[in-house]
Structure 1
Amino acid sequence: MKELNQIYAVDFFCGAGGVTCGFSKAGIKVLGGIDMDLSCKETYEKNNKGSKFIHKDISKYSPEELETDLGVKPNDDKMVFIGCSPCQYYTIIHTSKDKSAKSKLLLEDFRKFIDYFRPGFIFIENVPGLDTKQGSPLEYFKSFISQIGYAFDDKVVNATAFNIPQNRKRYVLVASRLASDIKVLIPKRKKIRTVRDSIGKTQSLKPIAAGNKDSTKLQHTSAGLTEINLRRLMKTPLDGGTRLAWKDDNELQLPCYEGKDEMFFDVYGRMHWDMPAPTITTKFYSISNGRFGHPEQNRAISLREGAILQSFPTSYRFYHSSIERIARMIGNAVPPNMAKEIGKLIIKSVDNAPI
């Protein structure tokens, strides 16, 4: 049963629950999350008690079905619809567009739910390229919500502003049909959180070797390394070293990087202790996919370290037997600390709105 002054939300494209976690910490009750990836269900529901996971493809799911499944009603001033859809098609990071083409129109699928329910608030987080690429559905979406009475603010933000130890630039939009002057506010911080602040000062993260399997709730598990990749990492200087340290070693140098010192510079590199981490992608468990080497241990960062760098609490457990699938859950998530700040902004807007 809904409480009189409670703000509620529905988390479309919820994945493992990054936004649900953050909104809950802000004081917003997330009724449920919708995602077509069934492997996220256990992680979502066990970490977000009381939030229901709905296993549906949003393109084949109707507003009427949602109304039945979660009991939500149209024109609810205290309802937030979250639409952080996977949209690698528009990312500025080099990825295969063929593989991500199916995500291209998810924002348009989300629009039909906005049209039917007209919630009090909307929150969207996505890749920065969504607001610049030709053919993006974003401009049409913004025009649509303006026409039906929503005020909105949008900008590209860096996760570091939200006390997240990671350089992660994201496009954020917050809209309201109640508050005419809603703004995406960037918190002012005197100090940026670093890799050392997050995974270097945590006593529970004991030194481990590549290939460590941690069956405890901490999940301090690290992917294994081939013999030659272990040698490469051992020769990479600690605390921010790069593959350039072994570019002249005929045994270690990769032919694809010969004469290309300025390309893919971070690949096989180590993180810097006293800087934010690079963007935590779905491949953060692999040193060959970015600067994901531990600052001083000869391995890639562990699953738990990746989750901490995404601002998940250490109590948040990920349920799957595969390192790759868990890393995908973590890397695809909206950092909970960012979602928490957006949730607090929405609560403040509700309190100030003439409801």
Structure 2
Amino acid sequence: MNKSKYTAVELFSGAGGVTEAIKDKFDLKCAVEYDPIIAKTYELNHGKDHLIVDNINNLDPRKILAFTRLKPGELDLLAVTSPCQGFSRHSRKKAAGNKDKRNKLIMQTIRYSNIFEPSYIFFENVSNIVNFTQFSRFIRILTNLDRNGYKRFSKWPSYHIRFERINASDYNVPQNRNRLILIAKRIDSFPNKDAVITYEKGNIPSVEKPHDIWPKKQKSLSLGQYLIKYNLTKIEPGETCKIDSLHKARNLSDLNKKRISYTPQNGGSRDDWPEELQLDCHKKKGVSYGDVYGRMNYNDYAPTITTGCTSYSKGRFGHPIYNRAISLREAALIQTFPKSYKFTGNINGDINMGSIDILSTQIGNAVPVNLAKTFITEITRELNSKVTESEPNLVYS
């Protein structure tokens, strides 16, 4: 082996959060993204030579393998962050066997791993995915082992997996964001009874003995401690910062300006409004979504950054101290994108311009950069250990 970087392929690349996390250690041979505007954001930050903009269902993994100029077994890392909306808790209330077509996209992991046979797989989704039968099937096929630790299907690779439901705030992200992370390690020696899958109550898969490629927890700074180092300019609702065009906030109606002015700083909610400002639907007993119209708290972590992250009415997205919702830049920083990261909300690729809804969706759907980096670092260490074992004089730093 003699290469300057490890190799990677990324499926569902989105705005490029995972690419930002891995680009220093990995040569990204291919990234696939369906949405052409989101792909423009990716291109602004990571180039387009390796980017394929298409519906993944239309692509042949064998042709993608040829595109990368790799052979089966040569890929070091396959990163997969398929759409998660169908696995959300809202969908769970409808049915664990939700028929949302997007849920099938996790099986692209199998489709590509069977062709590329990567050494490692990094997979991220919502934590609630474990409650779905689709996930159990996914784990069983990906592992590809019988109860004795031998391959069930000889032509497919087998994987020793570990998956856990985690909170991003435990991995250097100033945000309470509950996710599922899975790391799969290709099995090259059989039998491997440690990797055999059993099933717990509720048909949730369990690994006999998960591998140990997992980072130690690293608690994030609080939201205030994290954001203060960026020294962002104070802006008003509807205003755009003159020196950072992504630092812009949605406008507020006069009524919502009154509401947020009555909301106590650092964590206040609509419960503190005078009655004349309350919405009729919120006056009823037992109304859920208590975080709607709330403020973030500088002394705590941000709530989950969602596609509605810049809208005051769609969650606890009110600024901790200013009378506005958080800006696009603040949302991107909470997702741990670098301050220099560029986004676009239009097909022309104009930097930090275009639809605020499209921009918010890109940011909210992204994998936090620091979260991905923390887990990818562990995979890199494992790859390094293999290199030093086979070639003691070759070390990647």
Q: How does 1:192-341 map onto structure 2 within 5 Å?
A: 192-203=220-231, 205-214=232-241, 216-217=243-244, 219-246=246-273, 248-250=274-276, 252-260=277-285, 263-320=288-345, 321-341=354-374
* Residue aligning to 1:107: 106
* Residue aligning to 1:164: 173
Change (3 A) 1:323 1:3: farther
Q: Percentage identity across aligned positions?
A: 33
Change (3 A) 1:100 1:35: farther
Q: How does 1:29-178 map onto structure 2 within 5 Å?
A: 29-49=27-47, 52-76=50-74, 78-93=75-90, 101-133=100-132, 135=133, 137-147=134-144, 148-177=157-186
Change (3 A) 1:3 1:19: farther
Give the Å deviation of 1:217: 4.6
* Residue aligning to 1:7: 6
Letter in 1 for 2:320: P
1:287-314 deviations in whole A, cap 9, x for unaligned? 1110000011011000000000000000
Change (3 A) 1:311 1:226: same
Give the Å deviation of 1:253: 0.9
CA RMSD for the aligned pairs?
Answer: 2.5
Change (3 A) 1:215 1:104: farther
Counterpart CA distance in 2 for 1:97 and 1:197 is 39
Change (3 A) 1:215 1:81: farther
Which runs of 5 or more residues in structure 2 are unaligned?
145-156, 193-209, 346-353, 391-397
Change (3 A) 1:15 1:63: same
Q: Secondary structure at the match of 1:192?
A: coil
Give the Å deviation of 1:125: 0.2
* Residue aligning to 1:187: 216
Give the Å deviation of 1:32: 2.7
Based on CA coordinates, which of the two structures has the bigger radius of gyration? 2
Q: Secondary structure at the match of 2:89?
A: coil
The question of whether the paired residues in 2 share the 8 Å contact of 1:42 and 1:319 is answered with yes
Change (3 A) 1:214 1:101: farther
Counterpart CA distance in 2 for 1:301 and 1:151 is 41
The question of whether the paired residues in 1 share the 8 Å contact of 2:235 and 2:241 is answered with no
The question of whether the paired residues in 1 share the 8 Å contact of 2:171 and 2:374 is answered with yes
Q: Which moved more, 1:88-97 or 1:157-166?
A: 88-97
Q: RCO (CA 8 Å, sep 6+): is it higher in 1 or 2?
A: 1
The question of whether the paired residues in 2 share the 8 Å contact of 1:10 and 1:82 is answered with yes
Q: Secondary structure at the match of 1:225?
A: coil
Q: Which moved more, 1:228-237 or 1:5-14?
A: 5-14
Give the Å deviation of 1:329: 0.7
